[in-house]
């Protein structure tokens, strides 16, 4: 796991409104080039907003930082060029002309990931419907659609520690009860 120490969060500037499409493009290109070992996670932070349309409440996800996609990666070798070469990518945040992309500081990452967490809709007083070892499906957040196995249940925080296979690698995630459903 020595590689993981080299993985840092970077911010990729993208065409506004195309963030999720660009996230998909990056994922496909990285997979196509067989470089999944270098890119651990690609994230488009979103927030839940409730819109009223024709008298109906509609839950929508809105991109929290329009024009930005977060990438956790080891930007060795060709990776920065591959990402910059993707349609809709403007470049990395903080890079100087001809210089290297600048990673986010730990505090910034925690704030951003914390933001993603805080934005999860808060619901209280639900009995704990999950048990360790149970398989669940992630229904909200950046890992929407992935299945995982519950490793730990934290009752006070109303969180689950879930092992999810991402690009063939097991990754631990901390998710709220509202972000998962039974399979």
Decide if pLDDT at 37 tops 80: yes
- Considering the domain architecture, whether residues 77 and 104 belong to the same structural domain is answered as yes
Instruction: Give me the CATH number covering residue 160.
Output: 2.30.30.30
Decide if pLDDT at 47 tops 90: no
Q: What is the pLDDT of residues 112-122, one digit of tens each?
A: 777 666 555 44
Decide if pLDDT at 20 tops 70: yes
- Considering the domain architecture, whether residues 27 and 59 belong to the same structural domain is answered as yes
**pLDDT band with cut points at 50, 70 and 90 for residue 107:** confident
CA angle 117, 129, 138 (to 5 degrees): 45
Residue 34 located in a structural domain: yes
Mean pLDDT of the chain: 83
Which residues touch 120 (CB under 8 Å, ≥6 apart)? 48, 140, 141, 176, 178, 179
Decide if pLDDT at 98 tops 80: no
- Considering the domain architecture, whether residues 21 and 72 belong to the same structural domain is answered as yes
- Considering the domain architecture, whether residues 17 and 79 belong to the same structural domain is answered as yes
**pTM of the predicted model as reported, rounded to 2 decimal places:** 0.57
User: CA end-to-end span of the chain, whole Å?
Assistant: 30
- Considering the domain architecture, whether residues 99 and 175 belong to the same structural domain is answered as no
- Considering the domain architecture, whether residues 50 and 106 belong to the same structural domain is answered as yes
pLDDT confidence of residue 117 = 61
Decide if pLDDT at 2 tops 50: no
pLDDT confidence of residue 122 = 46
Tell me the residue range of the domain where 18 lies: 2-118
């Amino acid at each position: 796991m020595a590689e993981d120490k080299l993985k840092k969060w970077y911010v990729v500037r993208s065409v506004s409104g195309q963030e999720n499409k660009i996230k998909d493009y990056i994922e496909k290109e990285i997979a196509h080039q067989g470089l999944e070992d270098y890119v651990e996670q690609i994230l488009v932070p979103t927030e839940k907003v409730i819109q009223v349309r024709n008298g109906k409440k509609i839950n929508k996800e809105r991109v929290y930082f329009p024009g930005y996609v977060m990438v956790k990666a080891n930007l060795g070798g060709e990776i920065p060029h591959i990402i910059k070469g993707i349609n809709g990518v403007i470049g990395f945040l903080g890079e100087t002309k001809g210089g290297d992309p600048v990673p986010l500081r730990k505090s910034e990452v925690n704030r951003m990931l914390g933001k993603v967490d805080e934005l999860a809709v808060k619901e209280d007083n639900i009995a704990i419907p999950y048990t360790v070892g149970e398989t669940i499906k992630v229904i909200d957040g950046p890992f929407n659609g992935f299945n995982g196995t519950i490793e730990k249940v934290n009752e006070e925080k109303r969180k689950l520690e879930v092992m999810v296979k991402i690009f063939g690698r097991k990754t631990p995630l901390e998710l709220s009860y509202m972000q998962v459903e039974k399979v």
